[in-house]
A and B are shown apart, each in its own frame.
Chain A
Amino acid sequence: MADTTVKKNAVADFLAKHKAEKPPKEPKMSRKEKRERFKKRMECLTPEEQRYLKRKQAIEAVWPIFRGIIVFGLCFIILYPLLFMVSAAFRPRADMNDPTIMWIPKTFTLSNIKDAIRAMDFWKTLGNTMVLNIGCSLVQVITCAITGYGFARYNFKGKNILFFVVIMMILVPPQIILIPQYMFFRYFNPLGIFHAITGNYINFINSPVPMYLPALTANGLRAGLFIFLFRQSFRGLPKELEDAAALDGCSPLTTFVRVMIPNAGSTFLTVFLFSIVWYWNDYYVSTSFFTENKTIALMLKNLDGNLTRIIFGNDASSVNVRELIVWMESGCLISILPILILYICLQKNFTEGIARSGLTGM
């Protein structure tokens, strides 16, 4: 007991002593004194050093302001269409012709949104798109990962030529190969057997098969890029992992599933997110395979005509071009909202994923 009190006292004594020894607080310098002090310091330096310090000081003072203006201005330019979208979507059509209204409408209305939902058959379209989108993306991520792993970790004859094909997949625009692909799915005829037996062809146009089948074989939208990303990220993992797993009796497939996949988690998420975004936004490939299927991008592309047909009763003259904007912007707003929410929630995975997943390790 006594021991501890002694110790406590000792500590207190020690603290008190050192507190006393602390140098007296510097009196606050006025601006003038500061400047003089700076001047004195400058006098000890060579003119070259002086110039350097002065310039540095000036830049450090001005740059943050300049930077602030630039960042704010550019952010504003990017957000401008979105702000306009929100502003236009909720205003009554007459407000488009009112020059006094720039941003904030006089009355808020939900009728444009409701009309756009009706014209796009939104809920059904959304369901369709989500099923197609998530299905394709999931399948594509898995197959691209397997392919990327094969390219990253194994040496075999013809690897360079095959990888060149992957690079070509990134380079060749879909427009070149679309017609043969269309014929393939329109008159689907596996190995020529089906036609020989039945005398018919299978027509896959308007079914989800033209989207699923390429995704299933790692040939979906931008698959070349995804295979490339996976290859880069698997190549970055240490070689010992594989050998250790092999010594422990893992087959290559088990190694891949149990050792490699957990280590490449962030790449999986990035590729999955980008795949979702690109399938969501794709209308070029889907217009050639779908004539009836409703996806968000297709419906948005046709929103103009559908509005005239469904909302204005086939009378395009009842609405002028400026007023049409409120409906178009409402359509845009509801179409990008799901993907926007996804982006806001997982923003870090989008940007950091691209940075980390190997593009830098070329």
Chain B
Amino acid sequence: MKRLNLSYEKKKGLYGYGFIALWFIGALMFFIVPLIQSFYYSFHNVTPETGYLAITPLVDNKTGQTNIFLNYKNAFMTDPNFRQYLVESLQDMALNLPIIVVFSLFVAIVINQKFRGRTFARAVFFLPVIIATGPVYAIITGDLETGGNNSAEQFSTMFEADMVDQLLEFIGIYGFGDKFTEMLTTVTSDILNLVWKCGIQIIVFLSALQGIPASAKEAAAIEGATSWEFFWKITLPYISPMILVNIVYTVIDAFTDPTNQVMERLLSVQSEWKYGYSAAMAWSYFGIILVALGIIFWIMNKLVWYDD
């Protein structure tokens, strides 16, 4: 029997295929083919029948001609809510993204310091990740509101108009507070949501902070850097790759969240059996997010500093 003469490297390559074979079969069945199918659906009229989906070409009612982009056209032109939801969810994302990243960085820096009860604080900050992904979170926030025990409201009243305004009036500035307090209130009233969304980001920043080499800290201390300077000149460059990671994570997390408006609209369309239409919506949403991520990645990649 003649043995196959393969080099060590080639053999290793074959073993590599062996290791990923199982995943590849699964990905073909449960990911790649469904992905292509749903892309195909988005250009067609799809109605469920027993045993299969009936796929017919899209016909424009006005002109009587086939138009494969009709689903997309309907989603953006005719649908009463889709465009509005799309814009709103993008706006939300744009507003929340910097807040979440800055907030989780701040929390990570605080709980990276040594103080009593640090382990407990870390455990608490990560707790939402365990609970918040499920239906529990919806019930909790709903109940707090109907129960009138909304912590967010209580918390925001602490900072609300009066205090800041009175302070400013005391100094002698009148009427300044309105816009500012409004902004402050939107942030503070959302603080429960905010804190509950930051678990993973805090942990990622925490591990990045612990990865800052001791030599850099020492050098900064010898040069007499204040903690302010230390933050801008040492901490920020070292953790900048993780800022990018956290931004990408936050965007994906917000975008795949089944409770966001666009996703809810999508589900309601799906439950009306308009599969082609819902696929078109999903794909246009996905496309927009991909473009947004691409832009963020492109900008951030220039600002990120790698320690090579």
Which residues of B lie under 8 Å from residue A157 when comparing CB positions? 13
In Å, the complex CA distance between A340 and B129 comes to 11
Chain B contacts for A252, CB-based, 8 A: 12, 15, 18-19
Instruction: Tell me if B31 and A219 are in contact (CB < 8 A).
Output: yes
- In the complex, which residue of chain A has the Cβ closest to the Cβ of B13? A156
Interface residues on A, range: 35 or more
Q: Does A86 contact B (CB under 8 A)?
A: no
A sample of 17 more A-B contacts (CB under 8 A), given A78-B124, A297-B134, A355-B207, is A71-B121, A84-B149, A143-B22, A146-B22, A156-B14, A156-B16, A168-B31, A173-B286, A175-B282, A177-B35, A179-B275, A217-B22, A218-B23, A283-B135, A328-B139, A351-B203, A359-B204
Interface residue stretch chosen among A29-37, A106-114, A181-189, A309-317: A181-189
24 interchain pairs, CB-CB under 8 A: A49-B224, A75-B121, A75-B124, A79-B124, A84-B144, A102-B149, A150-B16, A154-B13, A154-B16, A155-B13, A171-B252, A172-B286, A173-B256, A180-B34, A213-B30, A217-B25, A219-B31, A252-B18, A284-B258, A322-B146, A335-B134, A339-B131, A340-B130, A362-B241
Is A278 located at the chain interface by the 8 A CB criterion?
yes
Contacts A149-B19, A150-B16, A217-B22 given; indicate if A74 touches B125 (C-beta within 8 A): yes
A175 contacts across to B, CB distance below 8 A: 256, 258, 263, 266-267, 282
Partner of B146, one of A201, A217, A321, A347: A321
- Interface 9-residue window, one of A6-14, A51-59, A118-126: A51-59
Chain B residues near A301 (CB-CB < 8 A): 135
**A174 to B263 CA separation, bound complex (whole angstroms):** 11
Within 8 A of B (CB), among A326-340: 328-329, 331-332, 335-336, 339-340
User: Could you say which of B25, B133, B135 has the most chain A C-beta atoms within 10 Å of its C-beta?
Assistant: B135
Within 8 A of B (CB), among A46-96: 49, 52, 55-56, 59, 64, 67-68, 70-71, 74-75, 77-82, 84-85, 88, 96
Complex contacts, B207 vs chain A, CB 8 Å: 354-356, 359-360
The 5 closest A-B pairs by CB, nearest first: A217-B26, A154-B16, A150-B19, A281-B134, A355-B207
Within A130-166, which residues are at the interface with B (CB < 8 Å)? 143-144, 146-147, 149-151, 153-157, 159, 162, 165
| A264 CB within 8 Å of chain B | no
Tell whether A214 is near chain B: CB-to-CB under 8 Å: yes
Contact B143 A180 (CB under 8 A): no
Considering only CB atoms, which chain A residue lies closest to B134 in the complex?
A281
Least distance between A186 CB and chain B CB atoms (Å): 9
B136 close to A171 (CB less than 8 A): no
Q: B308: CB under 8 A from chain A?
A: no
- In the assembled complex, the Cα of A80 lies from the Cα of B144 at a distance in Å of 10
Chain B residues, Cβ within 8 Å of A180: 33-34, 37-38, 41
What CA separation (Å) do A20 and B92 show in the bound complex?
Answer: 74
Report the minimal beta-carbon distance from A339 to chain B, rounded to whole angstroms: 6
B134 smallest CB distance to A (angstroms): 3
Q: How far is the CA of A70 from the CA of B155 in the complex (A)?
A: 13
Using CB atoms and an 8 Å cutoff, list the residues of chain A in contact with chain B: 49, 52, 55-56, 59, 64, 67-68, 70-71, 74-75, 77-82, 84-85, 88, 96, 102, 143-144, 146-147, 149-151, 153-157, 159, 162, 165, 168-177, 179-181, 183-184, 187, 195, 201, 213-214, 216-219, 227, 252, 256, 277-278, 280-284, 297, 300-301, 303, 321-322, 325, 328-329, 331-332, 335-336, 339-340, 343-344, 347, 350-351, 354-356, 359-360, 362
Residues of chain B within 8 A of A201, CB atoms compared: 51
* Interface locus among B75-83, B109-117, B161-169, B173-181: B109-117
Task: Report chain A residues within 8 Å CB of B27.
Answer: 165, 169, 217-219
In the complex, the answer to whether A218 meets B26 with C-beta atoms within 8 Å is: yes
- Measured between beta carbons, the chain B residues less than 8 angstroms from A300 are 134-136, 139
| A155:B29 contact, CB within 8 angstroms | no
| Binary per-residue interface labels of chain B (211-245) against chain A in the complex, 1 for a CB within 8 Å, 0 otherwise | 10000000000001011000000000000011001
Tell whether, in the assembled complex, residue A355 and residue B286 are in contact, meaning their CB atoms are under 8 Å apart: no
List of B residues within 8 angstroms of A70 by Cβ: 110
Q: What's the nearest-Cβ distance from chain B to residue A233, in Å?
A: 13
* A360 with B211: CB separation less than 8 A: yes
Name the residue of chain A whose CB is nearest to the CB of B120: A75
A170 contacts across to B, CB distance below 8 A: 252
- Asked if B19 and A176 make an inter-chain contact with CB atoms under 8 angstroms apart, the answer reads no
B282 contact set on A, CB distance < 8 A = 173, 175-176
Give the docked Cα–Cα distance between A159 and B134 (Å). Answer: 35
Chain B residues with Cβ under 8 A from A351's Cβ?
122-123, 126, 203, 206
- Chain A hits for B146, CB < 8 A: 321-322, 325
Contact B126 A350 (CB under 8 A): yes
Q: Which residues from chain A contact B26 at a C-beta distance below 8 Å?
A: 143, 213-214, 216-219
A64 to chain B, nearest CB (A): 7
CA distance A151 to B245 in the complex (A): 21
Interface status of B170 (Cβ within 8 A of chain A): no
- CB contact between B23 and one of A81, A143, A155 (< 8 Å): that residue: A143
In Å, the complex CA distance between A181 and B26 comes to 12
B24 within 8 A of A: yes
Q: Is the CB of B196 within 8 A of A78?
A: yes
Does B299 touch A at the CB level, under 8 Å?
A: no
